[in-house]
Structure 1
Amino acid sequence: MTSSASAAPLRAKFRELEEERERTWEPAALAVNINQRTTLIRDHGKAASVVKTGDVLPPLTLSALDGSMVSLDDLVAKGPAVLVFFRFAGCPACNIALPHYRDTLWPELKASGIPLLAISPQPKALLSEIATRHDLPFPVATDTGLKLSRALGLTYTFDEPSRQSALAKGGKSEALNGLEDTWELPKPAGIVLGPGGGGRFADVAPYWMARTERAHVLAALGLEKGDASHAA
């Protein structure tokens, strides 16, 4: 049974994170973060290639942390499946979202026999930290070379201030996505796949401090009444 804290909407948890940053971050660092998100919001509606409900996903196979290969076709062989795209293991917002899905979404999916796959482009050696830290019961896979994320139009590239900020902290593009000097990550997304790889529901957040709410995934699956639109 989930606690009232874990069941709180993700947007409320992210607001708490935002308020904590406003209290503790240096103004210049906060401005870099906010300006990058503002740019992503501005440009999000211009991206015609972003995956949407009704699109058919490419039949790719991803490598899971346990060494197995996960085919998108196999995931939906017996019914629908849920994909959750996230950025990387050290992302604070991802460390809020994934345990939230573990506690509030996964139990109902498991009871209904619906698989959930969490996906990040980060190399497995680093990506495994988030699965271990939160004892995630659903598989986590790496999207090598951002192949699936790019095909779905999910990726964005750091603006120059964000790149310089990451470099100043010792960050490397390869540690985020396995690619040299690309500074490219997926926007968070929640996708419900049906048989044949068709998207029964696709919700792409314009930036990382917004994520698909549990209720919208369940509504898209017919497991809960409610509006399946995005709640920022």
Structure 2
Amino acid sequence: MAAPQTDSSAFYGDLEEWITASDVMERTLKPGDPMPVFLARTIDGRLVSSGELVRSGPLVISFFRGAWCTFCVEELRALDAALPQFAAQSVGIIAISPETSEPARRLQSELSIPVLSDVDYAIGLLFGVIFVVPPFMRAHLEARGINLGELHGSRTWMLPIPATYVIDRNGAVAAAFVDPDFTCRTDPGDILEVIASLEA
């Protein structure tokens, strides 16, 4: 998927290096791992379980940083546009973000994909995609008027690495698209290829 243009390429390069040098990537779930059991609320307050989500077929889980992230929004819109292709194969899609505020609700109003609130980062921690925001990133976000504490309802500034997981019918991770480069996102066509291989 083509990434939107940004004037913060140096910052994203520094962030990619920081994540690569940390142990964040080592902690992420890998193909073959079981999907963690979790409960979450949709933006409109409905409670859903992981078991319910895989009951009717494979599941695609997209972790995104928030409605403030241009890359994330473009990725979600691409998945939303491909929703009929996923539905034709009985594949469910959900998006998960630590945001619990009005921006997340506005984003949900633009999407057909259900957006789940990851309160206290619980689901992201289970998948191993959460990291504590380093000081240089916090300063960068604050300079742009982005206050994660307010958006997440938490004193701790944490974010998920943008990650897309494909869960098979048995509740195991079939594919994991996780990249420390925040500007690199998963194309829906690549996900559909994984789904086709599962059906084969």
TM over 0.5: yes
Give the distance between the partners of 1:143 and 1:196, measured in 2 at CA: 23
2:75 is aligned to: 97
Matches within 5 A, 1:208-223: 208-222=182-196
Find 1:114's aligned residue among 72, 91, 102. Answer: 91
Cα deviations by residue, 1:29-82 (Å, 9 ceiling, x for unpaired): 6533431233224446x7432111111122101100222112111111122111
2:10 is aligned to: 31
Give the distance between the partners of 2:27 and 2:9, measured in 1 at CA: 30
3-state SS of paired residue (1:221): helix
Give the distance between the partners of 1:81 and 1:30, measured in 2 at CA: 32
Find 1:48's aligned residue among 26, 35, 38. Answer: 26
Instruction: Tell me the TM-score normalised to structure 1 length.
Output: 0.77
1:230 is aligned to: none
Instruction: List runs of 5+ in structure 1 lacking aligned partners.
Output: 1-9, 22-28, 225-232
Matches within 5 A, 1:1-232: 10=1, 12=2, 14=3, 16-18=4-6, 21=7, 31-43=10-22, 47-103=25-81, 105-132=82-109, 135-180=110-155, 182-222=156-196
Instruction: Please tell me whether the aligned partners of residues 12 and 181 of structure 2 are also in contact (alpha carbons under 8 angstroms).
Output: no
3-state SS of paired residue (1:84): strand
Instruction: Please tell me whether the aligned partners of residues 192 and 199 of structure 1 are also in contact (alpha carbons under 8 angstroms).
Output: yes
Instruction: Please tell me whether the aligned partners of residues 12 and 182 of structure 2 are also in contact (alpha carbons under 8 angstroms).
Output: no
Q: Using CA pairs below 8 Å that are at least 6 residues apart, which structure has the higher relative contact order?
A: 2
Shift in alpha-carbon separation, 1:190–1:169, aligned structure 2, 3 A: closer
Instruction: Please tell me whether the aligned partners of residues 166 and 176 of structure 2 are also in contact (alpha carbons under 8 angstroms).
Output: yes
3-state SS of paired residue (1:17): coil
Instruction: Tell me the TM-score normalised to structure 2 length.
Output: 0.88
CA RMSD between the two structures: 2.3
Give the distance between the partners of 2:131 and 2:194, measured in 1 at CA: 26
Please report how far the alpha carbon of residue 219 of structure 1 lies from its aligned counterpart in structure 2 after TM superposition. Answer: 1.3
Shift in alpha-carbon separation, 1:211–1:64, aligned structure 2, 3 A: same
**Greater CA radius of gyration, 1 or 2?**
1
Instruction: List runs of 5+ in structure 2 lacking aligned partners.
Output: none
Instruction: Please tell me whether the aligned partners of residues 90 and 130 of structure 1 are also in contact (alpha carbons under 8 angstroms).
Output: no
Instruction: Please tell me whether the aligned partners of residues 192 and 217 of structure 1 are also in contact (alpha carbons under 8 angstroms).
Output: yes
